[in-house]
Structure 1
Amino acid sequence: MKRIAFFAIFILAALYGQEEDEKVCLAPAQLTLSHHFGRGVGHKGYSSAELFFVNSQYMHVIPFVDARFHLMNEGRFATNVGSGFRYLMADDQVSLGLNAYYDFRDSRKLSTHQVAGGVEILSPYVDFRLNGYVPVGGTKHSEPLKFEAFTGNQIDVRRTTYYAFPSINGELGIPTPIIPVINTDFYVGVGPYYLFGRAVSGNKYPSAWGGKLRVLANVTQYVTLEFEMNHDHIFDTTYQGVASINIPLWKFSACRSGKKGYGKRPFYTRTLRPVMRNEIIPVRKKSDVYPLRDGSGNLINIVFVNNLAACPGLGTFESPFCSFASVPAQPVIIYAFQGGAPYVGNITMSLGQTLQGSATPLTVEGVTIPPFTAGNPVLTNPAGPAITLASQTVVRGFTIQGTGAGQHGIFGNNISNVTIEYNTINDAGFNGIEIPNHSGNVNIAYNEINRPGLNGISLDNSTNPGSAVVVHNTITEAPGSAILIRMDDPDAIGLIAYNTITKTINPGTGFDIGTEIYQGRVTISHNTTNSNTQFNVHGLDGYHVIANNQFVNTNPGASVGISYQTTPAGIDPRQVYIFNNHVTMAGINPGIVIQAFGSPDPVFAEIRDNIITTASTQGITVQSITPGAICTSISGNGAPTFTLDGVVGPINVKQTQAQYNTLNFASTGFTESGTVTFGSPCTPP
């Protein structure tokens, strides 16, 4: 009975205290500093500063402006700016409020803009709130797919997405009057919320219902403490504590007063305080792992080979084939591990296959798979080529160690669209790479070819259209030629660039780069050679651009740096553009030679801005040995001598003789013989 009596007295005291509190005054501008501890819905806590401006001078309408800045615990920020009003009615027993907000959140991968609005009904006894939030910009982001793991015969990838939820939330709030003993009023809010699902990068993320409970205590007029708990199946259960300090910015002047009654003072206080709403846009980071597919939605099929595995194997990552003989003749990726010893014998590829070594990154559908071993798998075949290509194949990341006499390292005949890159080919019995009669596109890049039996790389597209790209290769000690390309189609295109060639054996033989372009076009640029070859570049016919190369020819005998010749077999256009090359010669022949053989058709040659350094007095020579004229433009070069020799056909120079003599630097002099015409208006054919 004593406990019941004490409780009754406590309640009566609370009600009596409330009857005396009929007027509430707050500053018209309030600063609130707060910190949210723990996790919330789509965030990990934050600190806030809020400016709230309220005007209570009108009889029933209370307009307000609200601005909030938040510093997230991870160092990002968010903001809210809004305004609204509250309308007192029913003899100050009910307040109807409307508000609208603009929200912004800078999260790790999103900068999200949001519009929001809400309605609230406040009373001394119970409050109702309903808010809606609609992200309108920066709402979703997908990271590029990342390799996760090999599983069976598939490539598992991870997709990480970030997305902001549209949402609504409702709340039923129950206030208590001020309890005089502790001079504190409490507020309990409970209600549902709904997170709308999103579709991001083809993945559909579901919606979710959730519930929120919060308990707020106005400890003093200046200090507020709050506890929040949320639960939904996306963010699970989260807990937060909130501590706030409310600072009036000047003299109290925003007041509300009315008839005495239960809960009137906390009610009036709530009409002069900020809107209770979700301040932070909920953002979710979601990672999904699934098998990689191609653009048509088909699974990428990959088989594995490891000669350390038990034979025969299943071809899966967990149970690889022990040899290439078990690989099916299907368009698959063949992933070969380094193994314990060289793989012996020929690998004959099938249409559409990729042969991939385990020490080289593999990129499939934009996903890069890192190396799995430190060293390449090693191939050797005493009886033939190590690899025989098919059309639409790729060879990447192998070391070929020796093939039989007269056998190539990599070979493919009458094929199209192949890529050979990041391989090392040592001591091939014949050519390092040999592809005759190819069509389509051939790409040979980032390979190292050492000591082939004859040539490093030999390509011949016969009379087929297509392209030949040979870039970033290193070729050493090729006794014949390092790079040979032959094209005979008007739509054929060649690119030989950024290759490094070194040769110290068989002086005075072969070419560093040899091109036979009876029809088509080729560009030779940014290559570096240091060799004792016969020609650093030997180009026949067609359209050539030879530019920005560094050629060092260490052969003291009859050698040439850059040579361009026309033949009776060539077809127009016969044009060569040689510029910005640096040629260093140890021999007795010129650094650059243009010769017209066996053709009555005109030839155009532009030679500019080259530097020829030589131990002899030879520099740049243009020579016409057939009736066809040579039209040439020569300027900005530096060389020991310049020789124009119209032996049979005329040589027409675009520059006047004065320009020719002043625009070029000759340490020894200029020589003209035969028919040479300066100041000619000739143009490229």
Structure 2
Amino acid sequence: MQNWKLQVSLQAVALLGVLASLHAQSPHPQSSTAESLDLAVPAPLLRETRPFDPEIQSDPYRAYAAFTGRGDDQSRLHTDLFVPLISDRQNLLFSDIRGQFLSGGGAEGNVGLVYRHMVASDYIVGVYGFYDVKRSANENTFHQATLGAEFLTEIWDFRWNGYLPEGGSTQAVGATAVISNGNLVVQNNEERAYAGTDAEVGLLLWRFPQYFDSELRGFVGAYHFDTNSPTAESIQGPRVRAELRSFDLPFLSLDSRVTLGVQYQHDGVRDSQTSATVGVRMPFGPDRRRHRRMSRIERRMTDVVVRDVDVVTQSTPTPGGQEVAVHAIYDFEIGSVTVLDASTPDLPDAVANATTDSVIIDGGRGNIYLSQPIEVQDGQQLLGGGLQVKGADSGIHATFGSSVNLYGTDDTQAVILTADNSVISGFNIFGGLHGISSDLPGGLDDLVDVLIFSNNVTGAAESGFRFGALDADSIIAHNRATENGGHGFDIEQNEGLFVQNNALGNAENGFDLFDNDGEVSLNRSLRNEGFGFFADDNSGNFDENESYENGLSGFDFLDNSGSIAGNLSADNGLQGYTFARNNGVIEDNLAFDNGGFGFDFADNDGTVQGNLAFDNGDVGFDFADNLGLFQENIATGNDGAGFDFIVNSGQFLANEAIDNSGSGFDFDENAASGTFSNNDAVGNGEFGYDGTNNGTASNNTGSDNEDGNDTFP
């Protein structure tokens, strides 16, 4: 394809040469190309043969500033400062100072020195050199020298440029994940500056003297760039462009210019590139002494030097720069891979029969619709596109493929079925009975050593995630269950790690962990119609989870013999926390703005310590009997009592009740075996303390309670 396009360019150059030959043989040597093409433009307007004007001899060419907007793969703004240094009508030495700014990041500056000589008012020869410096979008800096030569007439343009970047210009850039010999690897890359050359021929195609003395020019050319890396491809191909120029605009000034341009080029590395430009040139200095416009050949003395718009750089693979790819978070090796996508016939069968370490389902070819479940095999890693990996040695990160959406079209079957020793990650799943499940035809399967993370399940007919028992080596992490017909997460027994998952807007509970013996932490439950979190029994750790705006209670436990610590429950329809019985530790939890009690449980045989209940719709802490340790809890601003219980037979120490609507402490009895000390009741709507003492009570203080009883006993 490249050779064909290069041939087309060369043929176009040859055609321009034929036109030039015809022009030279014309019997009317003073006629323009426009006249030879019979464009019906009056001859006196086509060629300006004005006599020499001594009044502008000392200042034939003025300095100017030009601003050009360029739209291509990313928007650019060019600035160009033209400064004559030595000049008369036939000779011009000027500096060309340029700046370029890219919307996607990066900038470039060019400083050039240009000499042009006009021969007998017929043609111009010019030579120039530039120093270029580029700060790329990858924050690498490159230096380059540019040399060029040009031959200009009123009708023709011939120019050549050579580009010489600083030797060995390479800088590290972001790595890429690629398949090499069947394995997924991280390929380290480097950004390199390319040496090269380009050339073009231009022709005046049309003049419109009645419209601001405008002209249309066309150009064809070719370019070739290369670098000394064995992994780099050369960049070469054709380039065509056109420019519409308007001169001496009355609403600007003499020597002003507006240019509209379009350019197309193609090469095998950067593919097709199309750009459009809009440029405005404004001269410096007053027009008072300039009584005539420059002739057309004089205008050409001030044409912009045409060269590649920036230092050509490209990301290329680093020779020998491949590393084993491991997952960016969990560090397991990706290994050998099978890549599937929407074009794969019978995708579930392809997954089941894959013999590689990992199967990657890529979303680059669109959404995938499944009428049968994908059944993950024992020990298989099923991964979605957009996979985040890193190099095993350097730790440098890369991404493979595109994010993928799976749609289950049968509400009686799960979309993905799990197996022991498997990994499932990176899928957006819609519909089906469950998104990811171990609900096999023979019943709900228990799982050993599974890693299920970074999946999103939406709109399943029942629960988004549904598993039997998860052993101590299993991890469920960074998943999201949204608007499913049952629970967000439905687990019979968890002995593993259940961390940083989210449940939003599900029809039942956000998290239904019937029995938790493992670690449940940093999960969030929001706006589910049932409980935020439910566990029939917790003998593990339930730490730093959040539950908001659920229809029932934020957290509901039948029995706790483990640790419930650092959780937050707010704005739920019923209680913040509900327990049938506590035999473990309930510590440093928050409950506020819930519709009912902040904390509600029958008996405490364990430790309830350092919890805060405020602004709830009923009692802050409501329980039957305390047989364990209940200390340093705070109830403030609740619509009922601060603390409401029957009997304290354990230790009730250093708790605070402040500004509650009912009594600060409302109880029947501090029993003979109980200790009730160092508590404080301030500003409550009824009594500070309302109860009897048959045990040990001391240093219980209070003030400003509406019905008194500021101390106990």
Measure the CA separation in 2 of the matches of 1:638 and 1:550. Answer: 14
Output the amino acid matched with 1:82: L
Measure the CA separation in 2 of the matches of 1:470 and 1:9. Answer: 82
Give the deviation of 1:472 after TM superposition: 1.1
The aligned residue for residue 625 of structure 1 is: 626
In structure 2, the CA distance between the partners of 1:87 and 1:427, relative to structure 1 (3 Å rule), is closer
Output the amino acid matched with 1:605: G
Contact 1:212 1:228 in 2 (8 A): no
Instruction: Please show how residues 218-617 of structure 1 align to structure 2 within 5 Å.
Output: 223=213, 225=215, 227-233=217-223, 234=236, 236-246=238-248, 247-248=253-254, 249-252=286-289, 269=298, 274=302, 276-278=304-306, 281=309, 296=325, 301-302=337-338, 317-318=344-345, 320=347, 322=349, 325-328=352-355, 330-333=357-360, 338-340=369-371, 342-343=372-373, 347=375, 349-351=377-379, 353-354=381-382, 365=399, 367-371=401-405, 375=409, 379=413, 387-394=418-425, 396=427, 397=429, 399-400=432-433, 407-408=443-444, 411-415=446-450, 421-422=456-457, 432-439=466-473, 441-443=475-477, 444-446=479-481, 456-461=490-495, 466-472=497-503, 482-484=512-514, 486-487=516-517, 492=519, 494-499=521-526, 501-502=528-529, 512-514=534-536, 516=538, 518=540, 521-526=543-548, 528-530=550-552, 535=556, 539-552=560-573, 562-563=578-579, 566-567=582-583, 570=584, 575-584=587-596, 592-593=599-600, 597-599=604-606, 603-613=608-618
Give the deviation of 1:545 after TM superposition: 3.2
Output the amino acid matched with 1:240: A
Measure the CA separation in 2 of the matches of 1:605 and 1:631. Answer: 5
Give the deviation of 1:105 after TM superposition: 4.9
Contact 1:65 1:82 in 2 (8 A): yes
Contact 1:169 1:191 in 2 (8 A): no
Measure the CA separation in 2 of the matches of 1:389 and 1:56. Answer: 89
The aligned residue for residue 173 of structure 1 is: 151
Compare relative contact order (CA 8 Å, sep 6+) and give the higher one, 1 or 2: 1
In structure 2, the CA distance between the partners of 1:523 and 1:678, relative to structure 1 (3 Å rule), is farther
Output the amino acid matched with 2:201: L
Contact 2:643 2:657 in 1 (8 A): no
Measure the CA separation in 2 of the matches of 1:219 and 1:227. Answer: 12
Give the deviation of 1:648 after TM superposition: 1.9
Measure the CA separation in 1 of the matches of 2:114 and 2:132. Answer: 15
Contact 1:626 1:649 in 2 (8 A): yes
| Equivalent position SS for 2:149 | strand
**1:118 has 2:139 as partner:** no
Instruction: Map Cα deviations across residues 370-409 of structure 1 (whole Å, 9 max, x no partner).
Output: 436573686379xxx953342543485373479579932x
Q: Structure 1: which 5+ runs fail to align?
A: 11-16, 27-54, 143-162, 176-185, 256-264, 307-315, 505-509, 554-558, 585-589, 681-685
Measure the CA separation in 1 of the matches of 2:659 and 2:105. Answer: 66
Measure the CA separation in 1 of the matches of 2:647 and 2:89. Answer: 111
The aligned residue for residue 136 of structure 1 is: 134
In structure 2, the CA distance between the partners of 1:611 and 1:333, relative to structure 1 (3 Å rule), is same
In structure 2, the CA distance between the partners of 1:100 and 1:420, relative to structure 1 (3 Å rule), is closer
In structure 2, the CA distance between the partners of 1:603 and 1:136, relative to structure 1 (3 Å rule), is same
The aligned residue for residue 98 of structure 2 is: 102
Measure the CA separation in 2 of the matches of 1:640 and 1:4. Answer: 109
Measure the CA separation in 2 of the matches of 1:287 and 1:378. Answer: 49
Contact 1:535 1:563 in 2 (8 A): yes
In structure 2, the CA distance between the partners of 1:497 and 1:445, relative to structure 1 (3 Å rule), is same
Contact 2:336 2:356 in 1 (8 A): no
The aligned residue for residue 652 of structure 2 is: 651
Contact 1:637 1:664 in 2 (8 A): no
**1:637 has 2:638 as partner:** yes
In structure 2, the CA distance between the partners of 1:300 and 1:210, relative to structure 1 (3 Å rule), is farther
Instruction: Please show how residues 181-200 of structure 1 align to structure 2 within 5 Å.
Output: 186=154, 188-194=156-162
In structure 2, the CA distance between the partners of 1:607 and 1:194, relative to structure 1 (3 Å rule), is same
| Equivalent position SS for 1:332 | strand
Measure the CA separation in 2 of the matches of 1:386 and 1:612. Answer: 43
Measure the CA separation in 2 of the matches of 1:118 and 1:550. Answer: 71
Q: How many residues align?
A: 535
Taking structure 1 as the reference length, what is the TM-score of the superposition? 0.60
In structure 2, the CA distance between the partners of 1:192 and 1:9, relative to structure 1 (3 Å rule), is closer
In structure 2, the CA distance between the partners of 1:253 and 1:477, relative to structure 1 (3 Å rule), is closer
The aligned residue for residue 10 of structure 2 is: none
| Equivalent position SS for 2:640 | strand
Contact 1:636 1:663 in 2 (8 A): no
Give the deviation of 1:117 after TM superposition: 0.8
The aligned residue for residue 43 of structure 1 is: none
Measure the CA separation in 2 of the matches of 1:495 and 1:243. Answer: 64
Output the amino acid matched with 2:337: N
Instruction: Please show how residues 141-160 of structure 1 align to structure 2 within 5 Å.
Output: none
Taking structure 2 as the reference length, what is the TM-score of the superposition? 0.58
Instruction: Map Cα deviations across residues 618-655 of structure 1 (whole Å, 9 max, x no partner).
Output: 66326663354522222122236742556122322454
Give the deviation of 1:63 after TM superposition: 8.8
Contact 1:165 1:281 in 2 (8 A): no
The aligned residue for residue 674 of structure 2 is: none
Output the amino acid matched with 1:190: F
**1:212 has 2:200 as partner:** yes
Give the deviation of 1:101 after TM superposition: 0.5
In structure 2, the CA distance between the partners of 1:97 and 1:485, relative to structure 1 (3 Å rule), is farther
| Equivalent position SS for 2:650 | strand
Output the amino acid matched with 2:379: L
Measure the CA separation in 1 of the matches of 2:93 and 2:462. Answer: 86
Contact 1:230 1:237 in 2 (8 A): yes
Give the deviation of 1:120 after TM superposition: 0.7
Measure the CA separation in 2 of the matches of 1:94 and 1:529. Answer: 87
